[in-house]
Amino acid sequence: MANALYDTGRAAFLNADVDWTADNIKAVLVDTALYTVNLTTDDFLADIAVGARIATSGNFAGKTSTAGVADATDVTFSAVTGASVEALVIYKDTGVAGTSQLIAYIDTATGLPVTPSGGDITVVWDNGANKIFKL
């Protein structure tokens, strides 16, 4: 699979249900042996099995939105242990998995896959024209 936006995530932006710069946006490291992405039907964090969620970031900092391009400060996941990580998912965190809107699925990036060893995992977002993603 290639990096992509969830269909309901795109709709959430269009319906003003996701505000990139104001909402709590996080990423979760995902073991794809326990999660098969479905960009059409997966809506919320609850659609990703708890066992597939290896580590969750804090809220993104330094978020910007220019010409439909989303960017943020690089993210560090601290002291990560667990199964191999093949993807990361960006989502709006509401504090409830059943309402935390999935936004983007990324499985093609430098450093993926990665096997956690108890150390930190830093995600360096692309500095090209599309940054993290472009709507």
At residue 66, the pLDDT reads 93
What 3-state class would DSSP assign to 51?
helix
Strands 133-134 and 69-71 come out as antiparallel
CB 86 within 8 A of CB 73: no
CB 114 within 8 A of CB 85: yes
CA angle, corner 102, sides to 100 and 103, nearest 5? 130
Instruction: Look at the pTM and tell me if it is higher than 0.85.
Output: yes
Q: Tens digit of pLDDT for each residue in 39-92? A: 999 999 999 999 999 999 999 999 999 999 999 999 999 999 999 999 999 999
Cis peptide before 113 (omega within 30 of 0): yes
What 3-state class would DSSP assign to 105?
strand
